Structure 1
Amino acid sequence: MTNPSMTDQAGDKPALRVMLCAPRGFCAGVVRAIDAVERALAIHGAPVYVRHEIVHNKYVVEGLKAKGAIFVEELDEVPAGTRAPVIFSAHGVAKSVPEDAAARHFYAIDATCPLVTKVHREATVHHKRGREVVLIGHAGHPEVIGTMGQLPAGAVSLVETAEQARLFVPRDPDNLAFTTQTTLSIDDTAGIVAILRERFPNMVAPHKEDICYATTNRQEAVKRVAPEVDALIVVGAPNSSNSQRLREAAERAGCRVAVLVQRASEIDWSLFGGISSLAVTAGASAPEILVEEVIDAFAERFAVKVETVHTAHEDVFFPLPRQLRADAAE
């Protein structure tokens, strides 16, 4: 990564103040999921099968493929009778997936983020207590599919927008509970919850907010710096919900140019002509090496001076799935 103290000497380049958001990048759930694949490869050797992208980042996925991981979308793509581990991604899966894995006699390892598992358990408890579950989230996202798949068909009602919250008709207005996807916009979700609570005052809320600490911290950091810069780059994948929400948060905070890129090679330089300040952050599944790559790309065109803006401290750690811990592997 470019040394900021050296870039000021490049007098032929326009000066660029780079505000580097902290926290950014990998969260504890992502670290755990990636480590799970690497640990499984170390213990069992290649191949290791992974259902769905372990996290939504092409660079990470390609790196694990090079080490011997094979990614599939459905279990029927895994060879029958294999003794290789089959790992479920950080986003979580429907109950039918581990049941299917057991029926096929696969050695399944669940790398679901513990904070997603928390949402699964909440939904299950509400259902057992006879409540209709409202899930706030994005249709088609793997996490939403996994959460809805914890309960029988029709037991969960998905609400994606404020308009849907206004139109939602429950079976029993006095017997409701809500949960949320962990990677949503804090502000959007608060608006949807406010509408639902106004309409259904007895609706039961989570004991602790479902939007995860990493999503919250990264969005708050973006909202802090976005009004102060000419442009902002989010390093992340287009199918990463938390990365897309960071870009949206920057736009709402008043940043004129807010873009999402996977790699430096995707930067549209026509958008960054004449800027004197830039903020950089990364979604929870984007590795730091890609952030460094983006800053280095700007350093080729600008006299870059980097400053880190700290808005929260993170020290969350999740242990590996039980089958992969040192005492279990010995």
Structure 2
Amino acid sequence: MTSHELQKIVLAEPRGFCAGVDRAIEIVERALAKFGAPIYVRHEIVHNTYVVNNLKEKGAIFIEDLAEVPRGATLVFSAHGVSKAVQREADARGFTVFDATCPLVTKVHVEVAKLAREGYEFIMIGHKGHPEVEGTMGQLDHGIHLVEDVDDVRRVQPSQTEKLAVVTQTTLSVDDAAEISAAVRMRFPRIREPKQQDICYATQNRQDAVKLLSKQVDVVIVVGSPTSSNSNRLAELARKLGVDAYMVDSAEELRPEWLAGRQRVGITAGASAPEILVQHVIERIRALGAVAVRRMDGITETVKFPLPKGLKLESS
């Protein structure tokens, strides 16, 4: 790289951990500190390899099936939320449960339960198989229909349309969700929509930041794990805006050829990716020749969620 081609790094603001992820990790760490290892966690607490491995080292055991948890153990539900069936099974097996479901996901569950009592059926916009979708759809035994795209909206067959409501996975692409919502409204003009949109503030803010970032850089690196829905959406969004984008779980995955001849490298991170991974990626790009790091102007997030009862640590 010649001297007049010095590479610059531009950091998206905001990026990385959101309040729901912060809270979920703190719940597991406090449970370990208060009750000692092992603490069982149903599903990855958040979708990030580094975070999960770090908690495993501290004594967390991640499971998918509650049959793997010994009777009377302490169990944490992941930030993505769980179905009523999983809650009932946990109660029946006598676990001490701490629920790390993100409060913004819980808000959707509460809305579904309330409207179901009033006789509503639901259209859910989300990704099939994602644990958050399984948790939300599992709030009811029937009457909740998943749509993943506009084609699904054309095909979906609720049993009635008088009382119909729409809910959304919290980590979707804001633009895709808007397009699918528009198709839902067109087919079911009287459908009830949530007072506040279900897509969470952190997903919206990180996507808005990538829209700004993409105008300023030649390539975007998204720090996030392959299982992270919101991280995948950030990379997709940058590509949609005409910029090459690559997702890395760690600095080791960064390939020098992605950056060759690119003067401005944008970096962001999904809501479950810790800042330490972003710093590792910056160090790696600096080692490859970048000389300056600039932070974009962006929203400062101040959201904080309270912890569940029973996790207060005795002050030393």
CA distance in 2, matches of 1:289, 1:303: 19
C-alpha displacement of 1:20: 0.2
Report SS of the residue matched to 1:191. Answer: helix
- The answer to whether the 8 A contact 1:13-1:301 is kept is no
For 1:31, the aligned partner's letter is: D
2:34 to 43, 49, 55: 43
For 2:308, the aligned partner's letter is: P
- What 5-or-longer segments of structure 2 have no aligned partner? none
How many aligned residue pairs are there? 316
Q: Identity, % of aligned pairs? A: 52
For 1:50, the aligned partner's letter is: V
Q: Deviations over 1:289-325 (max 9, x none)?
A: 0000001000001132111112212100001111213
Once the two structures are superposed, the pairs formed by residues 126-165 of structure 1 within 5 Å of their partners are 126-152=115-141, 154-165=142-153
In the alignment, structure 1 residue 179 sits paired with structure 2 residue 167: yes
Report SS of the residue matched to 1:178. Answer: strand
Report SS of the residue matched to 2:167. Answer: strand
Could you say which residue in structure 2 is the equivalent of 1:76? 67
In the alignment, structure 1 residue 270 sits paired with structure 2 residue 270: no
C-alpha displacement of 1:225: 1.1
Could you say which residue in structure 2 is the equivalent of 1:237? 225
- The answer to whether the 8 A contact 1:27-1:284 is kept is yes
C-alpha displacement of 1:12: 6.7
- What 5-or-longer segments of structure 1 have no aligned partner? 1-9
CA RMSD, aligned part only? 1.7
Q: After the TM superposition, which segments of 4 or more aligned residues of structure 1 sit over 6 Å from their partners? A: 10-13
CA distance in 1, matches of 2:140, 2:226: 29
CA distance in 1, matches of 2:294, 2:258: 22
CA distance in 1, matches of 2:83, 2:163: 24
CA distance in 1, matches of 2:24, 2:154: 37
Q: Deviations over 1:33-91 (max 9, x none)?
A: 00000000111111111111100011001111111111111110112x34x31100000
CA distance in 2, matches of 1:31, 1:310: 23
For 1:287, the aligned partner's letter is: P
In the alignment, structure 1 residue 301 sits paired with structure 2 residue 292: no
Once the two structures are superposed, the pairs formed by residues 203-214 of structure 1 within 5 Å of their partners are 203-214=191-202
- The answer to whether the 8 A contact 2:225-2:231 is kept is yes
Could you say which residue in structure 2 is the equivalent of 1:253? 241
- The answer to whether the 8 A contact 2:11-2:268 is kept is yes
Q: Deviations over 1:234-262 (max 9, x none)?
A: 0001000000000011111221x101110
CA distance in 2, matches of 1:13, 1:113: 47
Report SS of the residue matched to 1:127. Answer: helix
- The answer to whether the 8 A contact 2:143-2:158 is kept is no
1:95 to 84, 98, 104: 84
For 1:128, the aligned partner's letter is: R
CA distance in 2, matches of 1:13, 1:110: 54
1:217 to 205, 220, 223: 205
2:52 to 21, 37, 61: 61
